[in-house]
Structure 1
C-alpha cells in the first residue's frame, strides 16, 4: 500500500504546466486554507478549515481507513487557486461509494465485471504480425499468471468475437469479486474501465504488477503505433500519467477497504515473569 500511496502523492504534487486542459472543467475557486482529518469512533473524516467534507448528496465523507483519509486530504490540499475535480479520483470514488447515485449493488457490479471480462484488451491480439508478436511477448505472461493464480484456463480471441469464458472461470471470478465490499468493488470497476482490462486490474490488486506497468501494457498498441509514427511529447505522457493516477487511486481505495489494522498491547517483561 505504501508504494501506491507514495506514487499517488507524487502525482498530486506534480506541477505539469500542460495540465491546464483540466481548467475547462473547473467551476469553483479554492475556498479553504488548510485540510485535516479527524477520527469519529472507528471511522475517519476529512476537514476543510475544520469543517467536515461532505459528498454531493450532503452526506459526511467518512472512510474506514486513516491512510485513505490522509490521501483524500492530500488530494484537496494539492489544489491551488481552483479545484480541479476531474483529477480528484479518490474523492470521486469515495463520494460514489457513499452516495451510490446509480443505486448499484455488489452483485450488480460483480455481474458487470463478469460480462466485461470476455472483452478484455489482453484477449484480443492483432492480425499484424509485428504487433501480434509484441502482444504475445508482453501480454502472455499476465494471462499465464492469471490462469495459475486462479486455477482456470482462458482462451485468446481468434477474431473479433469475444473469447468464451467457461462457467468455472465465471464462478471463480464471481467469488473473488464478491469477497470485496461495495467501496472496493466500485474502485475495481473504476480501474477496469481505465485499463480496459480486468486481467490487468486483477494483477495490480494481487501486486503482480505496478500501476505504471499495467498502464504501459494497456497502452501497448498505442505505444507501438507511436514508435512507428512519432508522438506529441507532452500529450501522450500526460495521458499515461492520468491513467496511472486513476489506477493508483483505485488500488489505494481497494487496499484500504480490505486491510485490517490491529493493535496489540504488549505485556511488560516483568509482568510476564510474574505470570
Structure 2
C-alpha cells in the first residue's frame, strides 16, 4: 500500500454484504486490494471500520492512517496464499519465546521476570495442555519438539484474518505466548504489551529513558493494539 498515490475520488463509502462476507463500495465501486483482489472481509464490523478509514481520507490517500484496511489487504493478498509459511514462521517463536529467556542477574530483575512471566507460562500450560520452560541466560535452549508441535497446530488452525493479527502480535512482542494471551483476552492488551517490554522497562529504570527508544516503543505499541483490534473485528458477531 505504500505505492498508493491516488486522491479521494468518492463521496460516500458504504458497506454491503457480498458472497463470502462483506465489502466496502465507494460511490458504488467495490474496493480492491493492492493485488486487485476483491476486498471481502469476514464481518460487518470489520467492513464498517474499513469504510470509516476510507471516509476519513482527505486529498491524497494515506494508507498509514488505515490500519484495518492494511491488515485486511495483507490477509487477502499475502496470508491467504502463504498460510502454511506464515504459520510456520510465527510458530517458530515458541522455541525462543521472550518469556522463557531469563536473566542470570541482578536478582531484582530475575525476580521480576519470574513474577511477571511465570503466570503467563502457567496460563499457557493450562490452556494448551503443554508447557514451555524458562531457561537462564541468552544461549538458545531448545524446547521439547512435542510441545512446539502442539502450539504450532494451534497456529496453523487459524484462519487468514486471525493469523494476520497474530503475526503482528507475536512479531512485535517477541512472544508466541503473549500473542496467544492477546487473542484469548487473558490480560488487557496494554498489560500484555508492558509484559513484553519488561527488560526494556528495567533498563530504563536503571539508566534513564532514551527518547528515540521511547518513540520506537510507542510506534510498536500502537501497532500491537491495532493488531488486537483487527482480531476483535474479525471475530465480531453481527
Task: Report the TM-score, using the length of structure 2 for normalisation.
Answer: 0.83
- 8 Å CA contact 2:189–2:225 kept in 1: the answer is yes
Tell which structure's C-alpha radius of gyration is larger: 1
Choose which of 106, 119, 131 in structure 2 pairs with 1:141: 119
Choose which of 217, 226, 233 in structure 2 pairs with 1:249: 226
Q: Which residue of structure 1 aligns with residue 173 of structure 2?
A: 195
Matches within 5 A, 1:65-80: 65-80=43-58
Report the Cα offset of residue 87 of structure 1.
Answer: 4.5
Q: For 1:208-249, what per-residue CA distance to the aligned partner results, in whole angstroms no more than 9, with x for missing partners? A: 02221111111122222222333366972x544433332333
Choose which of 162, 174, 177 in structure 2 pairs with 1:184: 162
1:231 has 2:209 as partner: yes
Secondary structure, in 3 states, of the residue corresponding to 1:199?
A: helix
Matches within 5 A, 1:77-156: 77-80=55-58, 82-100=60-78, 103-105=81-83, 107-129=84-106, 130-156=108-134
- Distance, in Å, in 1 between the alignment partners of 2:89 and 2:48 is 31
Task: Report the TM-score, using the length of structure 1 for normalisation.
Answer: 0.73
Report the Cα offset of residue 118 of structure 1.
Answer: 1.5
- Distance, in Å, in 2 between the alignment partners of 1:41 and 1:179 is 23
Structure 1 segments of 4 or more deviating over 6 A?
Answer: none
Secondary structure, in 3 states, of the residue corresponding to 1:62?
A: coil
- Distance, in Å, in 1 between the alignment partners of 2:60 and 2:201 is 33
Secondary structure, in 3 states, of the residue corresponding to 1:100?
A: helix
Q: Which residue of structure 1 aligns with residue 136 of structure 2?
A: 158
- 8 Å CA contact 2:45–2:236 kept in 1: the answer is no
- 8 Å CA contact 1:155–1:163 kept in 2: the answer is no
1:52 has 2:30 as partner: yes
- 8 Å CA contact 2:182–2:192 kept in 1: the answer is yes
Q: For 1:47-98, what per-residue CA distance to the aligned partner results, in whole angstroms no more than 9, with x for missing partners? A: 3344322111112211110011112222334445554423533222211221
- 8 Å CA contact 1:131–1:224 kept in 2: the answer is yes
- 8 Å CA contact 2:79–2:86 kept in 1: the answer is no
- Distance, in Å, in 2 between the alignment partners of 1:101 and 1:210 is 26
CA-atom RMSD, angstroms? 2.8
Unaligned stretches of 5+ residues in structure 1: 1-24, 262-275
Secondary structure, in 3 states, of the residue corresponding to 1:110?
A: helix
